[in-house]
Structure 1
Amino acid sequence: MKVKVQTLDAKSGGDLELNDEIFGVEPRADILHRVVTWQLVNRRGTARAARERSDVARTGKKFGRQKGGGTARHGDRRAPIFIGGGKAHGPRARVFSASLNKKVRALGLKMALSSKALGGQLIVVDNLDLKDGKTKELKAKLGGLNLGKSALVIDGDALNVGFARASSNLSNVDLLPAVGANVYDIMRCETLVLTKAAVERLEARFNG
């Protein structure tokens, strides 16, 4: 698959041949759904447990007499009805995690990249160099690229410092290194922007 390379000024920068085994795979909704679900499950934090009756540090001595006190019978102060007592049927500690085959994860990333390439939502730029690294300057340049409502920009192994500083104030632009490319972030953005270094790194990641 051949795509046009642009500069941040939306000027032509030649052509680039993309690997069809990575950017030309027919997307499957079930594979993408499995990978996104796996990502979101593993993002969840652990559930915090509440202290129940056996966990509260209070006396276990019987509270009051069994009969003759004019009140209900109570065994100790750790009962849930007392202030400071244990929680009745409280939440238990849980760890949320899921596993997914490596081949399925790799296939899901290929399909996510292919869905953007085949849908015309992929833009390849030569680099992310900015003269001054200012947000105003970057916003003016990105206006010519027609990024839509949101864009994910993926750079090579190291992020461009000037671009990262300038894009930090733009809520509709996210920046990731090539090693951080993932299905969820790619699918939730409207436009995917790859640098030439990112394309090389992604192709090396799957071929290597």
Structure 2
Amino acid sequence: MELEVKTLDGAAAGSITVSDEIFGLDPRTDLIHRVVRWQLAKRQAGTHKAQQRSEVSGSTKKFVRQKGSGGARHGNKKAPQFRGGGKAHGPVVRSHAHDLPKKVRALGLRHALSAKFKADGLIIVDVASAEEAKTKALAARLANLGLSNALVVDGSEIDANFRLASRNIPAIDLLPVEGLNVYDILRREKLVLTKSAVTALEERFK
């Protein structure tokens, strides 16, 4: 399919042919959901921890006699039902990551790109560069494209001035094409791809 290419100033810059296998799929929300869950689970620190009964500091002495008290037959006060005791079945340090086949991850990315195109949230620009690292100047150029909440994806090499100018603009993210992922695509309203990023994606999914 043919997609229009623009400059960062909003002017026309020709067109580019893209693959229907990447941008023309009928989006499957179940695949996209699986990939997002995999991403979010994998990035969880998993450092939550509560002290178990064996880890609480305190005496193990039996504090009440076995019979005759009229109460329960307790052992020591490190049991979970007592104040200061250990946590019953509390969280432990662990990994939340789960496996997801590589083919499913790749397919999920293609469906996310197609979903963005279908929702009219995809913009192709010729280059993502700036003459100087000025945030105000870049914000004005992005406003010409109507971008206030967007993910900008460039090729392997990101322009240094563009990176410095964009990092102080709220809700504007910048990634190299190798870092493109489903979650970051979905969390922004618009997806901006440079021509070099589109070429790299075509090669990646060939």
Task: Tell me the TM-score normalised to structure 2 length.
Answer: 0.85
In the other structure, the counterpart of 1:173 is: 172
Aligned counterpart, 1:138? 138
1:157 matches 2:156: yes
Task: Say if 2:111 is the partner of 1:117.
Answer: no
Return the alpha-carbon distance in structure 2 between the equivalents of residues 189 and 131 of structure 1.
Answer: 26
Q: How far apart, CA to CA, are the structure 2 residues paired with 1:188 and 1:82?
A: 43
Q: Specify the alignment match of 2:188 in structure 1.
A: 189
Alignment of 1:1-208 (within 5 A): 1-63=1-63, 75-76=75-76, 78-80=78-80, 81=82, 83=84, 85-147=85-147, 149-207=148-206
Query: How far off is 1:27 after superposition?
Result: 1.0
The alpha-carbon distance between structure 1 residues 74 and 160, as it changes in their structure 2 partners (threshold 3 A), is: same
Paired residue total: 205
CA shift for structure 1 position 2 = 1.0
Q: Alpha-carbon deviation of 1:191? A: 1.0
Q: Which runs of 5+ in 2 are unaligned?
A: none
After superposing on structure 2, the runs of 4+ consecutive aligned residues of structure 1 that deviate more than 6 Å are: 64-68
Note closer, same or farther for the CA distance 1:90–1:125 as it changes in structure 2 (3 Å cut): same
Give secondary structure in 1 for the equivalent of 2:142.
helix
Deviation, structure 1 residue 137:
0.3
Q: CA separation in 2, counterparts of 1:181 and 1:43?
A: 16
Give deviations 1:124-159, integer Å, cap 9, x for gaps: 111111111211100111111122x41110011122
Tell me, in whole angstroms, the C-alpha distance in 1 between the residues paired with 2:59 and 2:111: 61
- Cα deviation for residue 73 of structure 1 reads 8.1
Displacement of 1:64? 7.8
**Cα distance in 2, alignment partners of residues 34 and 74 from structure 1:** 47
Going from structure 1 to structure 2, the CA distance change for 1:59 and 1:24 (only over 3 Å counts) comes to same
- Amino acid of the structure 2 residue aligned with 1:22: I
With over 3 angstroms needed to count, the CA separation of the structure-2 counterparts of 1:58 and 1:172, relative to structure 1, is same
Overall identity of the aligned pairs, in %: 51
Q: 1:76 to 1:168 in 2, by over 3 A?
A: same
Structure 1 residues 75, 170: CA separation in 2 closer, same or farther (over 3 Å shift)? same
Structure 1 window deviating more from structure 2 (150-159 vs 91-100): it is 91-100
